[in-house]
Amino acid sequence: MASYSTNEFKGGLKVMLDGDPCSIVENEFVKPGKGQAFNRVKLRNLKTGRVWERTFRSGESLESADVMDREMEYLYNDGEFYHFMEPESFEQHQADVSTVGDAAKWLKEQDICTVTLYNGSPLAVTPPNHVILEIAETDPGVRGDTAQGGTKPATLVTGAVVKVPLFLEIGDSIKVDTRSAEYLGRAKED
């Protein structure tokens, strides 16, 4: 397996630290004028999402992590596992609840999401940035109130709760930004 020295560390590089795959967030070269050189590195642990701050001696190296992002179609949830498929090879992968984590509340069957594979198995799931989902539950719509004005919570069919304008009703489809859980607009009915 390849290894990277501190001077190759850059944002997004995937390395192993303390047995866990990590993504480098930031790497700063620190050198006292007459002293030894260090690298102060921020890494995101891809298993836990926690950010670590570590100081390395300049020139130290870390093993690369066998981590890759793949676009996959979300198929279904069988109650225990979430199933995904690579569209070209039709190869299927299953991920458990803890791997899917927060992404679960945005997953709609047949949507394309990013599945991060570590040693070939799903490590994390990232939903598409924008999804179109139907409102399953919300207070009745207020007539005459259009785009501006107040908001109310709406529960979507996948379980996510989003603040929406007052005029929306159960059964309406809306477009949401999954990164901020922000309502973007009403989706056109096909």
Partner 1 sequence: MPEISSWQPTASLDNLRRRAALLADIRRFFSERQVLEMDVPILSRRATSDPHIDSITANCSGEVAYMATSPEFGLKRLVAAGIGDCYYLGKAFRNGEAGGRHNPEFSMLEWYRVGWDDHRLMIEVGELLSWVLKIPKVYSYSYRALFLQHIGVDPHRASFEELRAEVARVLELSFEPAGRDECLDLLMSHHIEPNMGDGITLVYDFPATQAALARVEEDELGVPVARRFEAYVKGMELANGYWELTDAPEQQRRFEADHRYREDNGKPVYPFEDRLVQALEAGLPDCAGVALGFDRLLMLACGAGRIDEVIAFPIERA
User: Which residues contact partner 1 (rule: CB under 8 A)?
Assistant: 7, 17, 28-38, 40, 52-58, 60
The burial of 26, by beta-carbon neighbours within 10 Å (0-12 exposed, 13-18 middle, 19 or more buried), is given as: middle
Least spacing, CB of residue 41 vs partner 1, in Å = 8
Amino acid, res. 134: E
Q: In a 3-state reduction of DSSP, which class is residue 8?
A: helix
Least spacing, CB of residue 65 vs partner 1, in Å = 15
Question: Toward partner 1, which CB reaches closer, 9 or 84?
Answer: 9
Please tell me the distance from the alpha carbon of residue 8 to that of residue 91, in angstroms, as a whole number: 33
Question: Toward partner 1, which CB reaches closer, 34 or 143?
Answer: 34
Q: In a 3-state reduction of DSSP, which class is residue 6?
A: helix
Question: Toward partner 1, which CB reaches closer, 55 or 146?
Answer: 55
What is the SS3 assignment for 77-141? ECCCEEEEECCCCCCEEEEEHHHHHHHHHHCCCCCEEEEEEECCEEEEEECCCEEEEEEEEECCC
Least spacing, CB of residue 36 vs partner 1, in Å = 5
Least spacing, CB of residue 166 vs partner 1, in Å = 44
Question: Toward partner 1, which CB reaches closer, 3 or 180?
Answer: 3
Question: Toward partner 1, which CB reaches closer, 16 or 75?
Answer: 16
Least spacing, CB of residue 30 vs partner 1, in Å = 5
> Interior CA angle at 116 toward 114 and 117, to 5°?
135
